Amino acid sequence: MKVPFLYDLAGTIRGLTPVQGDISIAVGARQAWFATRTPSGPGTLRFELAGGDLSWEAYGPGADWLLERADAIAGLRDDLTGFGELAVGHPVVHRLAREHPGLRFGATGRVFQPLLAAILGQKVTGREAHSGYVRILRKFSEPAPGPRPGLYLPPEPEVIAAQPYYVFHPLGVEQKRADTLRRAAAQAAALERCADAAACTARLVSIAGIGPWTAAEVTRVAYGDADAVSVGDYHIKNHVTFALTGAARGTDEHMLELLAPFAPHRGRVCGLIARAGIAAPRFGPRMPIRSFARF
């Protein structure tokens, strides 16, 4: 399939997870892998970029399901209608849109996978989130189908829901996040049936322990929601404020004011800022890394 000008395969596929170093995906310059559990069973999708064409193949019982929506997962159904006109309203956004024209929002069609990662990322460092996520996949799941070594499937929600909270302590996850994860896993089937991002958000925030930040992290991945903004994030409000105003610190309220002119592409602006590596200056000590493994 033909891809957009300067299509960013690596950036698009990396955007399919809220956790850096997710072992259910693997990304190279011209090739990428994505593993998931589909309604038909486990499956792995391999993308290969050659010139201006993207091809794909799938493995496992879920292969047919993945092939039917491979273009959506790769962000090729992402609708940028109106974004160009909005981008010219701010010089930084206009520049980033021109420098990264091939970044797209993929839509996996799966909710529990990014939800698991997002819950593990609540109020902790990226290193803690990655560590807990990888440990959970290795303990409660299995390698993904296909020839790519080191690629793991997300766990079955039923398996997570059935665990007592203390099982997650040796994996680096304290009771609060463990309980939220178990509650979310118990509702995974209903979440997967949500028709769109709005319906999914409403159901997600009705679960104790899940707020707007987690919901945005999920709908961005599952539905390719280009308007999702991660309100409540420790860093994003500062990065967006710094990128758009030069101020080193911001609030969620100010961030939303700055992003309002770009609706329904507010999350796309955040994604461009992240892809460009624009970050607010750091002051003071970083968030400490805790360990629950010995609790």
Q: What is the pLDDT of residue 51?
A: 86
Report pLDDT for 41.
97
Are the CB atoms for 202 and 243 separated by under 8 Å?
Answer: no
DSSP 143: B
Q: Tell me the average pLDDT of the chain.
A: 93
Q: In 77-114, which positions are buried (b, 16+ CB within 10 angstroms) versus exposed (e)? A: ebeeeebeebbeebebbeebbeeeeebbbbbbbbbbbb
C-alpha to C-alpha distance for 286 and 125, rounded to whole angstroms: 9
DSSP-assigned beta bridge partners for residue 45: 34, 58
Q: CA quadruple 187, 193, 196, 202: dihedral positive or negative?
A: negative
Low-confidence ranges of the chain (pLDDT < 50): 287-290, 292-295
pLDDT of residue 125: 84
pTM for the whole thing?
A: 0.92
User: pLDDT tens for residues 7-52?
Assistant: 999 999 999 998 888 999 999 879 999 999 999 999 999 999 998 9
The predicted pLDDT at position 295 comes to: 42
pLDDT at 287: 47
Is residue 42 packed enough to be buried (19+ CB in 10 Å), middle (13-18) or exposed (0-12)?
buried
177-204 pLDDT, tens digit per residue, is: 999 999 999 999 999 999 999 999 999 9
